[in-house]
Chain A
Amino acid sequence: MVTIYGTRASREGLGEGLLTVAEQYPNLVAVGADTADSTTLGLFAKKYPEKFINVGIAEQNAVGIAVGLSLVGKLPVVSTYSMFLVGRCWEEIRQSVCYNYTNVKLIGTHAGITVGLDGASHQILEDIAIMRVLPNMKVIVPSDAVEAKKIIIKMLDIDGPVYVRLSREKLPVITNENDEVEIGKGKILIDGDDCGIISCGVMVYESLVACEMLKNEGISCRVVNLHTIKPIDEEIIIDTAKKCKCIVTCEEHQVNGGLGSAVAEVLSRTYPVIQEFVGIENKFGESGLPDELMRKYHLKAENIVSKVKSVIKKK
């Protein structure tokens, strides 16, 4: 059985994280766009109203304002639904945030298909790809609410732009308060040698479940929580490839350009092994319950199990 510590939304890590350390960062400013309660930025806004800016439904202005704040010495954290933050504002993020080398922190919530009922218009499945391609940008996808809080706190010390991807839905909490998290470093959660499963976000939980199922069939897997997609932890990827000789990557994102692609980019020039991709296969999502959608779009443990079996055969 995979141990879980209840279910929570990773977006909760944002408000909680900021509140925890706000006093230590006097230059912290939060920028929201009519969604602060749902992103949880509202927690910070209520305690520090003088340090919170609500721009209304004007995401481009939110990003531009954050850039200006950063250029006069503030530490701006902008957050709204990821679709509208990094989707709508991609060019502004490229030009004004990254090219300008500012200290803007972008926190996209409600990412992925687990947004559920709102449907495909709100389910961004392309954000990892479009953010990781940007020079200077760092991209982090915490696996649960507890890890999200730690990452939110730690990213405040990073110099330069950061994108953190969070979920709306209550999802299993698999890490615990005492677990160490280091941005830029993946973590082996279970070790094994038949196949390496490298995952981020909610797919880390699914990977752990898959690993259990496979164990019962006599297949031993290594499960890596690769929360930081950029800068990527090459060492852990290469080590996993060397040990297992095959890889399955799992993400709640298009298979084109996301975590799987990032892993493949490392392996193809260092230690090529056969790789399978679990993710959304070039499709839009739709309305439905998160679990129904995960099933329909092949993101469940069972889907990981079958990819693992097929990749092992190709070793």
Chain B
Amino acid sequence: MPPSYEELKKLCTQFRKTIIEIIYEAKSGHPGGSLSLVEILTTLYYLHLNHDPKNPYWEERDRVVLSKGHGCPALYTVLAELGYFPKEELFKLRKLGSILQGHPVRVLNSDNSNLRYVPGIEVSTGSLGYGLSIAVGMCIGFKMDNKPNKVYTICSDGEHQEGSTWEAIMFAGVKKLDNLIEILDYNKLQQETKIDESVDISPLKEKYLAFNWQVYEVDGHSIEQLDSILTQAKQFQGKPKVIIAHTVKGKGVSFMENNVDWHGKAPDEKLKQLAIKEIVEKG
């Protein structure tokens, strides 16, 4: 039995709280772009992804590429809850020796003598604009072998200012890679400004359509909508799919919402308490 929407909403509240706690504990990190991902990741991992946390390298699993690597506190929080690694690890985020690096790492200590693989992390990311190409490569690989695995990649709006993202979009559309599902966390903010104050990326829907993608738009904080669109996107054949998820950067913490100041810093003790209080009350 998959969890109910109610249960998932409760989990989202818990995840938001944990994200704030672990970023506070790490004294650094990216709360804004993590909080915008919570419903996206929760719906994906709990309702749609074909995976097995007990067997993270299971061949049949779908792949998830977190292209916007700085959103990893959200991913780590979901993976820990699912049992990919012990929850204690979360509080070692960004600390020396931790498997939970500041940006996601698939294999640690990669000096090729002492490889430590991190369960649940499929690709090392952190430099924006690379994930979509990697996801495309995975899709081609699966298609070559007639395998049914799907590849989900989570990109940011800011990454659409990178040329490499468009190379991948163009290629995927031309090659009709329908095992590719991109979820675009469209929170409209980047590091220093609103996207449309620097180099605007709109209209995204029209651009993707012109590149031969199937396009969906949802409220990225509605588990119901995400669930229903993911169901449709999974079934749709013949084109790569993008779900443009309209989100709010910093969602759930009013002083962080829509505020670039909270892109990449940790709250102090007082603000952490305030944030958690608000998250819990709203939840």
Residues of A within 8 A of B264 (CB): none
Residues of B within 8 A of A203 (CB): none
Q: Do A68 and B112 touch (CB < 8 A)?
A: no
* Segment among B16-24, B164-172, B237-245 that sits at the interface with chain A: B164-172
Query: Would you mind naming 25 contact pairs between A and B with Cβ atoms under 8 Å apart?
Result: A29-B141, A51-B144, A53-B140, A56-B171, A58-B170, A58-B171, A60-B130, A64-B132, A64-B134, A64-B168, A65-B171, A67-B133, A68-B136, A68-B139, A68-B141, A71-B122, A74-B144, A91-B127, A92-B164, A95-B125, A95-B127, A99-B124, A101-B107, A135-B111, A136-B112
Q: Do A95 and B136 touch (CB < 8 A)?
A: no
Known: A100-B123, A100-B124, A101-B107. 6 other contacts (CB 8 A): A61-B133, A64-B133, A65-B134, A71-B134, A71-B138, A99-B124
Q: Which 5 A-B pairs have the closest CB atoms?
A: A68-B137, A64-B133, A65-B137, A72-B141, A61-B167
Q: Do A29 and B144 touch (CB < 8 A)?
A: yes
A160 in contact with B112 given A55-B171, A61-B133 (CB within 8 Å) = yes
Q: Do A68 and B110 touch (CB < 8 A)?
A: no
Residues of B within 8 A of A219 (CB): none
A107 → B minimal CB distance (Å): 17
Q: In whole angstroms, what is the CA distance A100 to B170 when docked?
A: 24
Query: Is there a chain B Cβ closer than 8 Å to A244's Cβ?
Result: no
Residues of A within 8 A of B111 (CB): 135-136
The contact string, 1 if C-beta is below 8 Å from chain B, for chain A 39-83, is 000000000001101011010110111111111111010000000
Q: Do A68 and B144 touch (CB < 8 A)?
A: no
Q: Once A and B bind, how many residue pairs between them come within 8 Å at the CB atom?
A: 111
Q: In whole angstroms, what is the CA distance A244 to B167 when docked?
A: 52
Q: In whole angstroms, what is the CA distance A56 to B169 when docked?
A: 13
Among B112, B137, B142, B149, the residue within 8 A (CB) of A66 is B137
Q: Which residue on B lies nearest to A138, using beta carbons?
A: B112
Query: Is there a chain B Cβ closer than 8 Å to A96's Cβ?
Result: yes
Q: Do B107 and A100 touch (CB < 8 A)?
A: yes
Q: Do A135 and B110 touch (CB < 8 A)?
A: yes
The contact string, 1 if C-beta is below 8 Å from chain B, for chain A 165-181, is 00000000000000000
B83 → A minimal CB distance (Å): 22
Residues on B lying within 8 angstroms of A by beta carbon are 63, 105-107, 110-112, 115, 122-127, 130, 132-142, 144, 149, 151, 163-164, 167-168, 170-171
Residues of B within 8 A of A74 (CB): 141, 144
Among B115, B136, B141, the residue within 8 A (CB) of A101 is B115
Residues of A within 8 A of B124 (CB): 95-96, 99-100
Q: Do B137 and A101 touch (CB < 8 A)?
A: no
Q: In whole angstroms, what is the CA distance A73 to B149 when docked?
A: 13
Tell me the A12-36 residues at the B interface (CB within 8 Å). 29
Q: Do A50 and B132 touch (CB < 8 A)?
A: no
Residues of A within 8 A of B112 (CB): 101, 136, 159-160
Q: Which residue on A lies nearest to B126, using beta carbons?
A: A95
Residues of B within 8 A of A55 (CB): 167, 171
Residues of B within 8 A of A136 (CB): 110-112
Q: In whole angstroms, what is the CA distance A58 to B111 when docked?
A: 29
Q: Which residue on A lies nearest to B69, using beta carbons?
A: A95
Residues of B within 8 A of A92 (CB): 127, 130, 164
Residues of A within 8 A of B127 (CB): 91-92, 95
Q: Do A68 and B126 touch (CB < 8 A)?
A: no
Q: Do B167 and A71 touch (CB < 8 A)?
A: no
B166 → A minimal CB distance (Å): 9
Residues of B within 8 A of A56 (CB): 171
Residues of B within 8 A of A53 (CB): 140
B245 → A minimal CB distance (Å): 22
Among B115, B122, B130, B138, the residue within 8 A (CB) of A69 is B138
Q: In whole angstroms, what is the CA distance A63 to B134 when docked?
A: 8
A72 in contact with B63 given A95-B127, A96-B130, A100-B107 (CB within 8 Å) = yes
A72 in contact with B171 given A95-B126, A95-B130 (CB within 8 Å) = no
Among A64, A69, A96, A100, the residue within 8 A (CB) of B141 is A69
Residues of B within 8 A of A70 (CB): 137
A71 in contact with B164 given A50-B144, A64-B130, A101-B110 (CB within 8 Å) = no
B145 → A minimal CB distance (Å): 8
Q: Do B115 and A68 touch (CB < 8 A)?
A: no
A315 → B minimal CB distance (Å): 37
Residues of A within 8 A of B138 (CB): 68-69, 71-72
Q: In whole angstroms, what is the CA distance A58 to B140 when docked?
A: 16
Q: Which residue on A lies nearest to B147, using beta carbons?
A: A72
B65 → A minimal CB distance (Å): 8
A65 in contact with B136 given A50-B144, A72-B142 (CB within 8 Å) = yes
Q: In whole angstroms, what is the CA distance A61 to B133 when docked?
A: 5
Q: In whole angstroms, what is the CA distance A68 to B151 when docked?
A: 10
Q: In whole angstroms, what is the CA distance A101 to B107 when docked?
A: 7
Q: Do A69 and B110 touch (CB < 8 A)?
A: no
Residues of B within 8 A of A68 (CB): 133-141, 151
